[in-house]
Amino acid sequence: MAKSDTAAVPVKGSKLMVIGGASLVGSATVDEMLARGAAEVTIFDNLSFGGRPNIAHLEGNPKVKMVQGDILKLHQLLRAAENMDGVVHLAAFMTLNFDRDPWGGIDVNIRGVQNVLEACRANKVRKLVFASSNAVYGYGPGVKGDLVENTPFHAAGAPPAAILYGSSKIMGEQLCRDAHRKWGQDYVILRYSTVYGERQHYRAANALYIVETHDAIKRGERPKVIGDGSETKHFVYVGDLACANCMALEAATTDVAVNTSGPAPITTLELVNLVAELSGRPELKAELVEPDPTKVRLTSGGAFEIVHRAAKDAIGWEPQVSMREGLSRLLAWRDASLKQAAE
Amino acid sequence: MAKSDTAAVPVKGSKLMVIGGASLVGSATVDEMLARGAAEVTIFDNLSFGGRPNIAHLEGNPKVKMVQGDILKLHQLLRAAENMDGVVHLAAFMTLNFDRDPWGGIDVNIRGVQNVLEACRANKVRKLVFASSNAVYGYGPGVKGDLVENTPFHAAGAPPAAILYGSSKIMGEQLCRDAHRKWGQDYVILRYSTVYGERQHYRAANALYIVETHDAIKRGERPKVIGDGSETKHFVYVGDLACANCMALEAATTDVAVNTSGPAPITTLELVNLVAELSGRPELKAELVEPDPTKVRLTSGGAFEIVHRAAKDAIGWEPQVSMREGLSRLLAWRDASLKQAAE
């Protein structure tokens, strides 16, 4: 990791763009930037996964500019990135979408990063924050123990879409490194673990457990757990990631990739029972069921922990919100949204 | 690994296409197919890396058809793949070209594979052989010991272009797996180790040692070795790979990826001194020099061996040609070519 005075972009007073800004993490990041006094925040999003409700609360805010654009159209990015001090790039296909449309996933997750880097180069954007993933460590039985930044990519035993997603993130990271070497592009890569929080969507294979469990409990049913529920998950609260994105812009650090995970891992069984408890129905204990072979599920073999120590050193970040606290917020948000929708 | 009667495509009497057929491995594969009695062999190549001299000896052969085409133009591939029983896909960017042009590398190594798979699907091509690489195990100090088919991808410490190349091959492999799952495409992936042999070119970072050493010795100079020469290389003779491609078509095996490496690894120092010996100048011992930081060189940390046992089980293949024998053939070919060029 390198430090450079020019790599520090204070959020306060800056013009910033969030690509994929109408997403779960994107909308929280825009909120955090505004709270920190950003001069102007551009949301660049094609809204292909919805997203409009995530940014409805920002409508009419004079500091927020919405650009409905496509990262595969370089001219749109080039124009949107004009006069930007910093860019946070979040737009990506995840595993489930890679399974449905590998061509789209490759375009968005690889060519998309190249286009973003090109727009940053052409517009002399001082700092890029790129959202990578703990998927760069892979899936399957090989993934166990402490996952640190130089842990290799394990592919054996994982479905093609998961490996395609993980390698697309590896390539995105390397394109950033290449840009730093070739034209000095300052960047920080954050390897998100599984995100959850308010405005949770249904597109991420891992976070589905939370919303599916909550839905089952709402119906008075016991939540289903696929397999024996012993596999590890390591979530991170969306608000913590919004802070990490801002801190990565503000840090003098460049040319580095660090993990951003929550305080501690949890097993699927613990998670599901915690959701039941927080939903006020602790008696609805998880029911173990056999996996459906037609569905893409990401199972991990051993117990693992995504270590976030390097993020503290690089950008001063560590997670603040416990799983219990974050889940309470998510469930409260879902209850309020469902109630509002029913009215 | 699965076996299927329909996955066996005998070379004898079949119509076959070699994509990248004017390359080092491609031209040897076409020769091997003709020797095994193929009814017709189509060479599909854009000749962007030269290649015309590699197939000059095939000109006028009624069983050989040359299509100067681009794998990024799907309509060209679709037409060329019509009525083919089997396809061998070799066209790719390697590390040095990835460094110069990452956009081209991503197009050719990922979208190119998707186009090839799509052409196979549309034309009901029974079997695809895809040339992957031991680059799927990565580079740098993490790579050591026995490299077997489920060894993870090590990236830490390697240059961006090398990691981009390795991950592009991982993705190419997964696209084949995905095609098998989605429409039953039969395929065998061969993970080539560093290829050498007659018609050696100058584009592969690792094989450069052989030709650069030979050139130095021709000039009466001591060959240069970067670093201490202790790092491992594991080459494979081009004729052995030509056989592997044919055997992969002929095997009833499908949905598998196996290593195809030479009989044994060698250190750089041993290699360079062997070239000097075979060139009749054993007294020109290697000179150790400091690495040039501006050049992409792939250094490996530990001693490793690319284990090819699984290839024997899957397709009955094992390497036949020793490093000493293969190098003798390569050097004899170079001497003859240089002599011819000088006349």
Specify if A17 maps to a domain. Answer: yes
Name the residue with tokens 């910033």. A16
CB B89 within 8 A of CB B116: yes
A77 in a domain, yes or no?
yes
From B218, B253, B187, select the one nearest B1 (Cα to Cα).
B253
| Residue of chain B with shortest Cα separation from A156 | B150
- What does the pLDDT read at residue B107? 98
Distance CA A128, CA A185 (A): 8
Which residues fall within 8 angstroms of residue A179, CB to CB, at 6 or more apart?
Answer: A117, A120, A121, A185, A187
Considering the domain boundaries, does residue B274 fall inside one? Answer: no
Q: What pairing do the DSSP bridges indicate for beta strands B232-233 and B266-267?
A: antiparallel
- The domain spanning residue A92 has which CATH number? 3.40.50.720
Residue A279 resides in a domain: no
Total of domains in chain A: 1
Token code pair at residue B10: 């005998």
- Give φ, ψ of A315 to 5 degrees: -130, 5
Interface test with B, best of A106, A143, A174 (most B CBs within 10 A): A174
Total CB pairs under 8 A between chain A and B: 89
Task: Say which of A106, A150, A175 has its CB closest to residue B156.
Answer: A150
Neighboring chain B residues of A153 at a CB cutoff of 8 Å:
138, 152-155, 170
Interface ipTM:
0.91
CA B251 – CA B1 distance, rounded (Å): 12
User: Is A178 close to B160, i.e. CB distance below 8 A?
Assistant: yes
Put simply, the answer to whether B152 touches A156 (Cβ < 8 Å) is yes
Task: Name chain A contacts of B171, Cβ cutoff 8 Å.
Answer: 106, 163-164, 167-168, 171
What are the chain B neighbours of A170 within 8 Å (beta carbons)?
153, 155, 163, 167
* pLDDT of A245: 98
| Cα separation, A273 vs A270, whole angstroms | 5
pLDDT confidence of residue B49? 82
Interatomic CA distance for residues B33 and B84, integer angstroms: 14
CB of A338 within 8 Å of a chain B CB? The answer is no
Which stretches of chain B score pLDDT less than 70? Answer: 203-206, 294-301
Residue at A99 is within a domain: yes
Contact with chain A for residue B1, Cβ under 8 A = no
Give contacts of A155 with chain B, Cβ < 8 Å. 152-153, 170, 174
Query: Which residues in chain B touch residue A259, judged by CB atoms under 8 angstroms apart?
Result: none
Of residues A289, A305, A244, the one with CA closest to residue A28: A244
Domain residues for the domain of B159 are 2-196+237-261+305-320
Asked if the C-beta of B110 comes within 8 angstroms of chain A's C-beta atoms, the answer is: yes
Tens digit of each residue's pLDDT, chain A (343 residues): 788 878 999 999 999 999 999 999 999 999 999 999 999 999 999 998 888 999 999 999 999 999 999 999 999 999 999 999 999 999 999 999 999 999 999 999 999 999 999 999 999 999 999 999 999 999 888 899 999 999 999 999 999 999 999 999 999 999 999 999 999 999 999 999 999 999 887 766 667 778 889 989 989 999 988 888 888 899 999 999 999 999 999 999 999 999 999 999 999 999 999 999 999 999 999 999 888 776 655 555 678 999 999 999 999 999 999 999 999 999 999 889 888 888 8
Residue with tokens 């070379």: B11
Could you tell me the two tokens for A252? Answer: 């003098």
Distance CA A286, CA A284 (A): 7
Contact list, A172 vs chain B (CB under 8 Å) = none
Q: Is B170 on the interface with A (CB under 8 A)?
A: yes
Yes or no, beta carbons of B163 and A153 under 8 Å apart? no
* Residue of chain A whose Cα is closest to the Cα of B142: A152
At B163, which amino acid appears?
I
DSSP state letter for A91: -
* The Cα angle at residue A227 between residues A224 and A233, in degrees rounded to 5: 85
CA–CA gap between residue B256 and residue B3 (Å, rounded): 10
Which of A153, A160, A164 lies nearest to residue B153, judging by beta carbons?
Answer: A153
State both tokens at A165: 């997603």
Whole-number Å distance between alpha carbons of B231 and B211: 18
Q: Is the dihedral of CA A141, A147, A151, A155 positive or negative?
A: positive
Q: Give the residue among B31, B46, B36 at the shortest CA–CA distance from B12.
A: B36
In a domain, B109, yes or no: yes
Question: Of B138, B168, B178, which is closest to A160 when you measure between CB atoms?
Answer: B178
Q: Output the 3-class SS for chain B.
A: CEECHHHCCCCCCCEEEEECCCCHHHHHHHHHHHHCCCCEEEEEECCCCCCHHHHHHHCCCCCEEEEECCCCCHHHHHHHCCCCCEEEECCCCCHHHHHHCHHHHHHHHHHHHHHHHHHHHHCCCCEEEEEEEHHHHECECCCCEEECCCCCEECCCCCHHHHHHHHHHHHHHHHHHHHHHHHCCCEEEEEECEEECCCCCCCCCCCHHHHHHHHHHHCCCCCEEECCCCCEECEEEHHHHHHHHHHHHHCCEECEEEEECCCCCEEHHHHHHHHHHHCCCCCCCCEEECCCCCCCCCCECCCEEECCHHHHHHHCCCCCCCHHHHHHHHHHHHHHHHHHHHC
> Which pLDDT does position B205 carry in this prediction?
66
Say what the pLDDT of residue B206 is: 66
**Where are the alpha helices (H) located in chain A, listed in sequence order?**
24-35, 74-80, 95-100, 102-106, 112-122, 160-183, 208-218, 238-250, 268-278, 309-315, 323-342
Report yes or no: B119 at the A interface, CB cutoff 8 Å: no
* A315–chain B nearest CA distance, Å: 20
Q: Which of A155, A160, A170 sits opposite B181 (nearest CB)?
A: A160
Of A110, A142, A161, the CB nearest to B152: A142
Asked if residue A20 belongs to a domain, the reply is yes
Interface of A with B in 123-152 (CB under 8 A): 138, 142, 149-150, 152
A89: part of which helix (H) or strand (E)?
A: strand A86-89
Q: Give the one of B150, B155, B181 whose C-beta lies nearest to A170's C-beta.
A: B155
pLDDT of the residue at A291: 80
Scan for tokens 């800004």, then name that residue.
Answer: A21
* Contact flag A167-B163 (C-beta cutoff 8 Å): no
List of chain A residues whose C-beta atoms are within 8 Å of the C-beta of residue B177: 160
Q: B181 to chain A: which residues are within 8 Å by CB?
A: 160
> What pLDDT shows up at residue A105?
97
| A108 in any annotated domain | yes
Rounded alpha-carbon distances, angstroms, from residue B319 to A42, A137, B23, B238, B326: 58, 33, 20, 10, 11
